[in-house]
Amino acid sequence: MRTERKDDKLIVFLDGRIDSSNALTVEKEIDQCVSGYSGPLVLDAEHLSYISSTGLRVILKLRKRFTNICVINVASDVYDIFNMTGFTEIMDIEKEYRTFDVTGAELIGEGANGKVYRIANDLIIKVYKDASSLDDIKRERELSRTAFVLGIPTAIPFDVVKVGDTYGSVFEMINAKSLAELLRSDVSQVDYVAEKTVSLARTLHMTKVPDNIAPQSDTAREWLREAQGAFDEAHFAKLKALIEAIPETGTMLHGDLHIKNIMQQDDEAILIDMDTLCSGHPIYELAFIYNAYEGFGIVDKGVIRSFLGVDDAVAARLLYRILSLYLDTEDEGRIEEVREKASVIGLLRVLRRVIRIGEQDTPAGKALLTACRERICDAVDRLDTLTF
């Protein structure tokens, strides 16, 4: 019987049939495989064609020995046996995944964790970059369901599939297109797109945050720790004080609210990419919006054009209009004040990303890090608070 150690798990690969004729032999072989082991146990059933009640008792004995046990890659017929006998209610049993090929598919969105493709007129798929992404997929599904139940318009993934060496979540989006697609086809729609964005932001920000939503302040403090070496002592102390003074308002935030993560379906705006859902003061949301339309492109404006598919001047107009509508003001001074506050947090995130991925010693990375640091330092010299 083949076994494999992966991360902190022991994987035992099941093969063929397990029934009354061989269950005792299989049990002895598994016992040899797990002898002296007490960690998480995974039974990979990709090549298991049948299991009888005798075979199920073998797995039941294992469940009594291993509290952290699961069965993965279960074929449909075998899954039906687990399901009918109640095993799916007492332990984690995962069906085998359908396979998808996104070669040639239209890329309609991209975030830190994955890319979103349109694979049919009514289907989109989010493909995760990390091959060990199943936990992330489950978390995003949970967050999507949480948001949906709370009245936030969002798409819920209905299937998990294999895409090459990694995984994807499939969503049904009938007659939907992203706001990025809309804006690319008609740049005069800036006001409309800004209104849809702000409407979604307000819906989110007026929703009570449930317990399973993490606070963004914890992440911001992590950014500070990782970026400390990029600042002189005085500016870092001021930056740290400003961020730590941001109050915990318990506001629900999307965490990546931009035109590629907003789908329009029959004039309704629907959010996707819900794995970034978090809570905190709205300045964090505005910081993420600032990054999408300006922050990531402060050195190379082509980054914004490449990411969003619209000209950087259009992105700048959109950012201004979003801030104006969200703040409910046409006062240019007020809009610029909040934009600068958002930029401090947004550019800290960009700076930290340069450091985390190890680009600070490359010409492009060094230029971006320097520009972020200079803008942040210039802003904190003037600012007494990051809230509004």
* Domain assignment present for 338: yes
Is 90 exceeded by the pLDDT of residue 32?
A: yes
CA dihedral (15, 70, 22, 57) in degrees, to 10, reads -160
* Per-residue pLDDT at 379: 98
- Judge contact between 36 and 65, C-beta under 8 A: no
* Domain assignment present for 101: no
Q: How many domains does the chain have?
A: 3
**Are 254 and 300 members of one domain?**
yes
Mean pLDDT score, 74-103: 91
Rounded Cα distance, 323 and 364, in Å: 29
Q: What is the CATH number of the domain that holds 236?
A: 3.90.1200
Q: How confident is the model at residue 43 (pLDDT cuts 50, 70, 90)?
A: very high
**Are 236 and 151 members of one domain?**
no
**Are 254 and 326 members of one domain?**
yes
* Domain assignment present for 110: yes
Highest-pLDDT range among 32-41, 115-124, 156-165, 334-343? 334-343
**Are 304 and 363 members of one domain?**
yes
- Which one-letter amino acid corresponds to residue 342? A
* Domain assignment present for 387: no
Q: How confident is the model at residue 139 (pLDDT cuts 50, 70, 90)?
A: confident
Rounded Cα distance, 150 and 146, in Å: 6
Is 90 exceeded by the pLDDT of residue 218?
A: yes
* Domain assignment present for 388: no
**Are 85 and 225 members of one domain?**
no
Mean pLDDT score, 240-259: 96
* Per-residue pLDDT at 351: 98
Encode pLDDT of 313-360 as tens digits.
999 999 999 999 999 999 999 999 999 999 999 999 999 999 999 999
**Are 321 and 193 members of one domain?**
yes
Q: Which domain holds residue 195?
A: 176-382
Lowest model confidence (mean pLDDT) among 123-132, 208-217, 283-292, 309-318? 123-132
Closest CA to 132 of 149, 114, 115: 114
Looking up tokens 């002296």 gives 36
Is 90 exceeded by the pLDDT of residue 112?
A: no
**Are 252 and 362 members of one domain?**
yes
- φ, ψ dihedrals at 112, nearest 5°: -65, -30
Identify the three-state secondary structure at position 35.
coil
Q: How confident is the model at residue 129 (pLDDT cuts 50, 70, 90)?
A: confident
Rounded Cα distance, 50 and 102, in Å: 32
**Cα 99 → chain centroid:** 21
**Are 232 and 126 members of one domain?**
no
Mean pLDDT of the chain: 93
From 172, 188, 207, the end of a domain falls on: 172
Mean pLDDT score, 42-52: 95
* Per-residue pLDDT at 225: 97
**Are 180 and 158 members of one domain?**
no
**Are 163 and 198 members of one domain?**
no
Rounded Cα distance, 62 and 87, in Å: 13
pLDDT exceeding 90 applies to what percent of the chain? 77
From 52, 73, 96, the end of a domain falls on: 96
From 150, 172, 194, the end of a domain falls on: 172
Rounded Cα distance, 68 and 59, in Å: 13
Helices 233-244 and 363-382 sit at what angle, rounded to 10 degrees? 70
**Are 203 and 269 members of one domain?**
yes
